[in-house]
Amino acid sequence: MPKLDVDRLEFAILAERAGLSRIPMIASYSNYGTTVKDMPREFEAAEQRVRDRGLINPGGVNDRVMELLGIYPHAAVEYDLRFSSNKGTELRVAVSKARKTAVRTVVDGDRIILEPVHPNDVIPALVSVLPEHPPARIRPPLSVDLAEMRAAMTEVRRRGDEDPQAIEHTLRARGVNIASFRKMTQLLDGPRLGLGEVGVTIWDDRRKEFRGDQTLRIIDLQVGRTAVYNSGAQRMFAGADMSTFTRVLGELTTKTQREAAWR
């Protein structure tokens, strides 16, 4: 099935005509892109454009469009990504999976592009939209105890200490080996070429929605693309290669599904 490339207003027309109960969050707002000045007139023009392309008919949308949009209300898992490398712009991506089907939704400026993807490749399909940047070589990944780091940050804020090394000094005073933390902060002190975040949402058999309580942060540095995430009681800092994305997001999905099963 070929991809579907429409603008924001055309997408809104299609979603309405398809009678969708939900669309991905990343496609539901327009903080970026061209400002719509005359909403009624531009919506009318958008409707005419999708009609001219044969995307809508008196009964709704055509079969090709419905095959893509129809996945949204039945998604069991949906990954969402937001990434920006330039101020005032944001690349947004969602991959929605429902049983043996999956669709990728890319929001880039004024365009929204939908494309079917293999249901076994949802994470690679999500990550592959990112601008090219090599993963940083950080082996083994750096880690800091989460509880100790949070306690140190709280103590520094309470003291009103503005020394850039205050957290490091506090961690050392608490008996924490600060080698990993120091290396982490040294790397993060450099120019940031891009920032992003990936999260996951799941739905149970009753269509109840559960959002993962953690995300994976993406930070592009001169040394490469890095990932910041929590693993157990540790804050991790690693090179953001495909194996890291697959493992961390897979673990987050499993954790969210287990928590949902107990609610």
Closest CA to 118 of 135, 133, 103: 103
Considering the chain, what is the average pLDDT of its residues?
92
pLDDT in tens, 131-152: 999 999 998 999 999 899 899 8
Please tell me the distance from the alpha carbon of residue 155 to that of residue 137, in angstroms, as a whole number.
Answer: 32
pLDDT in tens, 168-207: 888 888 888 888 989 998 898 889 999 999 999 999 989 9
Please tell me the distance from the alpha carbon of residue 236 to that of residue 229, in angstroms, as a whole number.
Answer: 5
What percent of the chain shows pLDDT beyond 90? 69
DSSP state letter for 135: B
Give the residue extent of every domain in the chain: 1-128, 131-262
Please tell me the distance from the alpha carbon of residue 153 to that of residue 170, in angstroms, as a whole number.
Answer: 8
DSSP state letter for 222: T
Statement: residue 33 has pLDDT above 80: no
Residue environment code for 69-81, b if the CB has 16+ CB neighbours within 10 A, otherwise e: bbbbbebebbbbb
Give one DSSP letter per residue of 57-116, joined into a string.
Answer: ETTEE-HHHHHHHTTGGG-SEEEEEEEESSTT--EEEEEEEETTEEEEEEEETTEEEEEE
Reported pTM = 0.91
